[in-house]
Amino acid sequence: MVLVLATRWRGEALRGAFWLIPWLTVIATGTKGSTSPVVIAGLGLAAAAMLIWNRPMFWPVVRDAVVIGVSLIVTMVVVFHGSVAGLKLGVTNSAKQTSLSSVIGGVASREQVLFVSAAVIIAGLTRAALAFALPFRRESRLDPVSWVLIGAAIAGAAALGLFSHPGRSQSYFTLTAIPLAATGSAIGARHLWLALGRRRALLLGALSAVAAFVFFKGILMWTGRIVPRKYDQFWQITTIAAVVVLVAAVIGALVVRRQWWRGALTTVALIGLFAGAGSWIDTYRTSVPVPDERPATLTSQNATTVGMLRAARYIREHSEPTDLVMTNRHCTTVREPRGGATAAGGWSALSASGRCSSKDGPPRREPRRLLRTAGTRSPSTTGSRRSSNSTTPSSRRPRRTHSAGCGTSACGGSMSRRRDRTPTI
């Protein structure tokens, strides 16, 4: 979609490319409801920038923004029936749903809420760190594409700190914006390379890489892992991290000398870019155990309600081993994966005792135990194996399809609508 916009604004698009804009908007929004909003946010920033620096491009940008906005509204009404699936604006609730809040043991004051929200927004902007160099070059400042990339990155990161969702699906806005943010950083890196020169750019890159390692890894090696609810330690680590960034910025300013501010800002941006990439890799290499709360309540993390068990039993009783059960059950909080899969896909797979199409892999033991406790027949070993993401059609008869997904825009569910009365898990 952004590529079509860029080629149209630059006069490189073929005739009739305009009609691709609403069509691509409908496809993107119907597939994942978080795609078009970040693009519209980028177009809003681009329109404001064009009004200041390049007024002939103001109306073309506004026109495309209106077309995408109308297409988004139509898709939301037709496909998702206007549902946002519990997506709400609120800093307090969004801060409580962040991973940072889980690491420090929750937010206990207004200052912590604001700090956590600001921290996750800044962390979400690390992929676009070098994109903010684009406005400093006249050619890029006059190009609306530069502002679309920056605006989309800001909107995607801001969603983490401003919105909350029962399934924490506000992170999809950030994930949607990452390709645009990375593209902006790539263009910004080229501009900085040309402006700073090869020698200075390499020096700043090496300095920032070392500082980034100290920022996200070295400090914790010195102070130890963050202990939940030990807020004094958390503030100590935050202060040390700020000092590391400040010292690196000063050294970067000395490397560039004449345009010292350019060296300082470039160093800070590179630290954010490298630290963000490093922490992302570290997240996938390590896991954080989630303790079970006893006794559990309805609001407890990983709690399983009676309604879930009844829905699972209903699917079990109204399906055959050859039926296909599709699930979007990952739209609720699940515990840490054990044995390579989460509990998300397990509910539908175990209850159906048939084939299951799920993002979350084969079922785990926990759903099986709870289903037995609820009086549901425990699936056989053969049935459990057959339920692991197999979509091979049956040769005996046509297969029915049951959807156990949320099917809403915020969750990203694009499952087909059920015409029976199968309850949603």
Task: Render pLDDT for 66-90 as a digit per residue (tens, 0 to 9).
Answer: 999 999 999 988 888 877 777 888 8
- Please calculate the CA angle 326-328-329 and round it to the nearest 5 degrees: 110
**By the 8 A CB rule, do 259 and 200 touch?**
no
pLDDT, one tens digit per residue, over 304-338 is 667 777 877 887 787 777 776 666 555 444 444 44
Rounded distance, CA 74 to CA 80, Å?
Answer: 10
The two three-digit tokens of residue 145, written as one number: 């594409």
Task: Give the sign of the dihedral formed by CA 23, CA 29, CA 32, CA 38.
Answer: positive
pLDDT of residue 379: 38
Query: If you search the block for the tokens 């994942």, which residue do you land on?
Result: 32
- Nearest CA to 163 among 111, 124, 201, 198? 124
Query: Is the omega angle on the peptide bond into residue 423 within 30 degrees of 0, that is, cis?
Result: no
377 falls in which pLDDT band (50, 70, 90)?
A: very low
d(CA 8, CA 14): 8
| Percentage of the residues of the chain whose pLDDT score is greater than 70 | 70
Query: What's the distance, Cα to Cα, between the start and end of the chain in Å?
Result: 34
Read off the pLDDT of each residue in 377-406 and give the average, rounded to a whole number: 39
Q: How does pLDDT run across 14-57, given as a tens digit for each residue?
A: 888 999 999 999 998 888 888 899 999 999 999 999 999 999 99
Whether residue 421 is predicted with pLDDT greater than 70 in this model: the reply is no
Question: Which amino acid, one-letter code, is at 147?
Answer: W
Interstrand relation of 163-164 and 401-404 (parallel, antiparallel or unpaired)? unpaired
pLDDT tens-digit readout, 260-318: 888 999 999 999 889 877 777 776 666 555 555 566 665 555 566 677 778 778 877 87
Q: For the segment 87-131, what is each residue's pLDDT rounded down to a tens digit?
A: 888 899 899 888 888 888 888 888 889 999 999 999 899 999 999
Least-confidence region, from 148-157, 216-225, 347-356: 347-356
Candidate ranges 166-170, 195-199, 277-281, 349-353; pick with highest mean pLDDT: 195-199
| Mean of pLDDT values over 386-408 | 40
- Provide the pLDDT confidence category of residue 217 given band limits of 50, 70 and 90: confident
Asked which of 173-182, 235-244, 372-381 is least confident by mean pLDDT, the reply is 372-381
Whole-structure pTM value: 0.71
Enter the tokens of residue 205. 């890159």
Neighbours of 37 (CB within 10 A): 21
Residue 334 contacts residue 367 (beta carbons within 8 Å): no
pLDDT > 50? residue 389: no
Q: Select from 145, 11, 105, 80 the least CA-distant residue to 417.
A: 80
Return d(Cα 83, Cα 88) in angstroms, integer. Answer: 12
CA geometry: angle 105, 106, 109, nearest 5 deg? 130
Provide the pLDDT for residue 189. 94
Residues of the chain with pLDDT > 90, as a percent, come to 36
Spatial distance between the Cα atoms of 403 and 422, rounded to a whole number of angstroms: 8
